[in-house]
Amino acid sequence: MNAIKAKALFEADVQYIVKGNEVAIVDTFTGRVMEGRRYSDGLHQSIEAKEGIVVGTESQVIATVTYQSLFRTFSKLCGMTGTAMSDAKEFRKVYGLPVTSIPTALPVARRDYPDVVFKTKEAKVNAMLNEVARVHEAGRPVLIGTTSVQDSEEIAGALSDRGILARVLNAKPENCDREGEVISQAGRIGAVTVATNMAGRGTDILLGGSAAVMAKLRIRDGLVSAGCVDESAEGTEGIEGSAAMKVSLMDDSFFPAPLSPNAEGGIATAAAALLSDGSDGGDGPLPLLELEELVSIAAEKAPISDPAVLAIRAAYNTIKAEFAAVVDPEKEAVRKLGGLYVVGTERHESSRIDDQLRGRSGRQGDPGASRFFLSLDDKTLRTFGADRLKSIMDSFRVSDDMPLEAKMVTDAIDKVQNKVEEYYSEIREQVFTFDEVLSTQRDNIYTRRVNLLAASDDDILSTFKTYSQETLADIVPNYITAEGAVNGTGLQAKVQQYFPNSAVDAAAMDNMKRPEVEAYLDAAVLKAVDEKMTAVDAWRPGQFARVAKYLSLVQIDNNWSDHLKNMNFLKESVILRKYQGRDVLQEYVTEGVGMFETFLANSRRSTVFSLMAYTTPPSGSSS
C-alpha cells in the first residue's frame, strides 16, 4: 500500500525534496525542510526506492506526542501571532485560551485586491507573469508566493525566459541557506522574489532593502576573504554550514554600493584583530558558524569587551552607514511606487497561511498590495467543488484567458477554503481526541518508569516478586479445565520455561485442586527467585536488583514502541467503522484498554523471563 502511495500520491519538490543522497520532508505550512523526520511504516523507504537512492533502515517510534498534548503539559500558556483570529474557536476549545486582537500601531496601508480566477492553470500563470512584468517594469518590488518547491522553480524559470531575474527562496539547501540574503534584498527597487510559504516568516521585508543585513553579509564576506575562516575545520566534515564546506561569497552586485577605503580598512583591522596572536592567545581562524556568530554579536548594541568583536562592530557600523545612505532614499522611491506587491499563485488549505503571505507587504504602516491568481485546476479548489463553477463558466462559454474578478467569486473561493479548514480542523480534533486516550496510557507508563528509576534495591526486589506472581497467575488458568482437572505435565513445562531453577513436581500437581496448585507454585516460584538472587549476588552484591531494574526499563521501552505501532493500526481501523454507524471513539477506548493491558503483561513476562535466564560472567571476570 505504501509503495503505491509513494508512487502515485507523493511528488518530488512538493511533499519532499531529494537532498544529496537522502529524501527530506517539506512542511507544506512553512515551506521548510523538516530535518531528521522520516515517514513511517515503510513509506520513506518506498520513496527512496522510487527516487533511486540508497534505501535506509525503517525508523522505529519509541515515543510519540501530539503538539496539543505537549503544550497542555505546561502550567501556563500564551502566544502571539498575527493570524490567530481565524482559529480563535480552536484555541479556546483545545487550550482554553481566549484570543485577543491588538490594533496595529499604524493604520494598515496595504490594499488587498480581489482574487482573479481563470479556468486553467496555464491561463492563470500567463496572466500572473504578465502582471509581474508590468509591475517590475515600473521598478516596484514583487514577492510571488507559491505552495510548493516545484511551482517556485517553474515560475522562476518562466520569469527568466522573459528576461526578469528572480531570486528563489524555497526548501532546497542551496536556496534556504540564503534566506537572510534573499529577504534583505526583497524590498529593493526592481527586486522579484519567488518563494514558498517560508518567505521571510518572522522578519520584515524592508522597503529599499535592509542595510543592517547587507552590512553583516558584507563584513562576513570581507573576513572570509581575509582568511578568518579555518578551511580545515576538523570534526566538521558533513556539517551543513561548517567551514569544511566552501563558503559561497555574495556577488558585488548584491550590495547597494561599493565600500569606501575607510570601510575596507575597517574590515582589514577587524581581520587583523581576529587573527592576532596577542597575549590572550587571539581567536585565530574560526569555523564559519563561529565567525557568523561573532558578526551577529558585533551587530547588536550589547556591551562587549572582546577587542576582535569591537573591531568587527566598528567596521559593521561604518558599512551600515554607507549602505543606509543608498538604501534610505531608495525606500522613499519604493513607497512612491506603492510598496511591495505580493502575488499569490494559489490559495492554501489554511487562510492563516494566505494572511501570512499578504502580511509580508504593508508592514509598519508602509504601503503595499496583494493579489491572488487562481485557477479552477488548483488542487484546493478542485478537491472541494470547483468543478461546478467550471461547468458554469463552460456553459457561458468563458474563454480560458478571461479572468473572473468579482466579490461574488472571491466569496465563493472563501467558502471553499472554509470547507477545507473545517475538514482539517475535524481531523485535528479527531487526532486530539484519540491522543487523549493514549495520553492517559503515556502518563501511566512514564510514572512507572520514574518509580523504577528512583526505586531502592528492596523495592525492585519486591516489584520483581510481584511480577513473578502475576506471571504465574497468567499461566495457571491455561492448564486447569473447567471441571478442575490439572494438566501437571504441561504446567510444569511452562513454569520451568520462565523459572528454570524451580522445583515443580508434575505428578503431585495432577492430584491437587486449583487453590492447592496456586499455593504450591507460588511457594516454588518465590523460592526460585530467592535462589536466583543469591546466586547472582554472590558474584557482586546488589547485582540482581541492578539487572532487574535495567531489564524492567528495557522491556517497558521495547514493548511500548510496539504498543504505539499497534495503537496506530487500531486508530486507522476504527476510523473505517464509522461507515458502519459505530461509535469510533468508544471502540478505540475499549480496544485500547485491552491492548494496554496486553502491553503491560508482555513487559512483565519478558522481564521475568530475561532475568531468570540471566547468567553472571565467569569467575574472575571484571566486566
**Structure confidence by residue, pLDDT tens digits, 586-619:** 899 999 999 999 999 999 999 999 999 998 877 6
pLDDT in tens, 452-466: 999 999 999 999 999
Mean pLDDT of the chain: 84
CB count within 10 Å of CB 510 equals 15
Lowest mean pLDDT among 231-245, 280-294, 466-480, 563-577: 231-245
CATH 1.10.3060.10 fits 455-612, yes or no: yes
Among 446, 365, 378, 410, residue whose Cα is nearest residue 109: 365
Q: Compute the distance between CA of residue 107 and CA of residue 319 in angstroms, rounded to an integer.
A: 33
Same fold, 2-50 and 455-612: no
Please provide the CATH number assigned to the domain covering 2-50. 3.90.1440.10
Task: Round to whole Å and give the CA distance between 414 and 119.
Answer: 17
Distance separating alpha carbons of residues 299 and 320, to the nearest angstrom? 10
pTM above 0.75, yes or no: no
- Over range 350-370, report the average pLDDT: 86
Hey, is 57 helix, strand or coil?
coil
pLDDT at 527 over 90: yes
Mean pLDDT throughout 483-506? 88
Spatial distance between the Cα atoms of 242 and 167, rounded to a whole number of angstroms = 24
The answer to whether the CB of 34 falls within 8 A of the CB of 41 is no
pLDDT of residue 201: 55
Contact 230, 326 (CB under 8 A): no
pLDDT over 50 at 254, yes or no: yes
Residue 84 CA to chain centroid, in angstroms?
Answer: 20
Specify the DSSP class assigned to residue 164.
-
Specify the residue for cell string 505546561: 74
Q: What's the burial of 27, exposed, middle or buried (CB within 10 Å: 0-12/13-18/19+)?
A: middle
Closest listed residue to residue 291, CA positions, set 217, 237, 232: 217
**413 Cα distance to chain centroid:** 29
| pLDDT value for 241 | 40
Q: Where are the alpha helices (H) located in 115-230, listed in sequence order?
A: 121-137, 149-161, 173-176, 179-185, 211-225
Cell of 253: 552586485
Residue with the three cell numbers 516460584 = 525
Domain spans of the chain? Answer: 2-50, 227-318, 455-612
| Residue keyed to cell 514577492 | 143
List of E strands, 378-427? none
Residue 349 in contact with residue 424, Cβ under 8 Å? yes
pLDDT tens for residues 306-323?
888 999 999 999 999 999
The span from the CA of 617 to the CA of 623, in Å, is 7
Residue pair 41/78 in contact (Cβ under 8 Å)? The answer is no
- CB contact at 8 A, 197 and 29: yes
Say if residues 563 and 591 touch (Cβ distance below 8 Å).
Answer: no
Q: What pLDDT score was predicted for residue 467? A: 93
Closest of 378, 382, 379 to residue 391, by C-alpha: 382
Residue 352 to residue 83: CA distance in whole angstroms:
6
Model pLDDT for residues 223-233, shown as the tens digit of each residue: 988 888 876 65
**What would the pLDDT profile of 74-109 be if each residue is shown by its tens digit?**
999 998 888 888 888 889 988 889 999 998 888 888
Of 217, 343, 326, 318, nearest to 263 by C-alpha is: 318
Average pLDDT over residues 226-244: 55
Phi-psi region of 117 (alpha: psi -120 to 50; beta: other; left: phi over 0): beta
Provide mean pLDDT across the span 195-216.
77
H/E run at residue 437: helix 407-454
CA distance 142 to 155: 13
Q: How many CB atoms lie within 10 A of CB 497?
A: 12
Predicted confidence at residue 620, as pLDDT, reads 53
Asked whether residue 182 carries a pLDDT value surpassing 50, the answer given is yes
pLDDT score at 247: 62
d(CA 458, CA 544): 11
Does residue 234 register a pLDDT over 70? Answer: no
Q: Are 522 and 516 in contact (CB under 8 A)?
A: no
Does residue 374 register a pLDDT over 50? yes
Say what percent of the chain tops pLDDT 70: 90
Q: How far is residue 226 from each of residues 67, 230, 274, measured CA to CA in Å?
A: 46, 11, 10
Beta bridge partners of 33: 26
Q: Give the 3-state secondary structure of residue 284.
A: coil
What band does 198 get if pLDDT is binned at 50, 70 and 90? low
